[in-house]
């Protein structure tokens, strides 16, 4: 369940990263644009992603001993933190890549756990 919530959380991040610049460019957001670009919102979205990864991935590793999910997640979070200090287009590209890596980590972890439980 934690991995599915992790994928959902990463998916929300992905949607935010893709839709916010598009909607800002189209002028659709108005005053809500400042809210979607605010640093506190980024932090608010980051906390569940970090917590779910910290709760799920190490436990999964203890059972299946595959390092790939942890590696994907660490790389994803590194990219995410770098994206916070980057310019607009690079920020979006890094954040999208990061959210895809973290979602992949959770999906792979879940797949490995399911496979482990059936053997």
* Per-residue model confidence as pLDDT tens digits over 31-90: 666 666 777 788 888 999 999 999 999 999 999 999 999 999 999 999 999 998 888 889
- Could you give the count of Cα atoms lying within 13 Å of 25 in the half-sphere of its Cβ? 7
List of residues 6+ apart from 7 with CB closer than 8 A? 103, 106, 107
What's the number of domains the chain is made of? 1
State residue 55's pLDDT score: 95
State residue 31's pLDDT score: 67
pTM: predicted TM-score of the whole model, two decimal places:
0.88
State residue 105's pLDDT score: 98
State residue 33's pLDDT score: 65
- Domain span including residue 60: 2-118
State residue 44's pLDDT score: 87
């Amino acid at each position: 369940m934690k991995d599915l919530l992790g994928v959902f959380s990463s998916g929300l991040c992905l949607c935010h990263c893709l839709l916010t610049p598009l909607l800002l460019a189209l002028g659709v957001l108005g005053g809500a644009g400042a809210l979607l670009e605010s640093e506190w919102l980024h932090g608010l979205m980051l906390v569940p992603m970090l917590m779910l990864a910290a709760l799920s991935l190490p436990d999964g590793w203890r059972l299946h001993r595959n390092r790939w999910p942890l590696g994907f997640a660490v790389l994803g979070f590194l990219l995410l933190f770098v994206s916070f200090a980057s310019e607009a287009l690079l920020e979006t590209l890094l954040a999208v890549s990061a959210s895809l890596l973290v979602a992949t980590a959770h999906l792979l972890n879940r797949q490995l756990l399911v496979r482990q439980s059936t053997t």
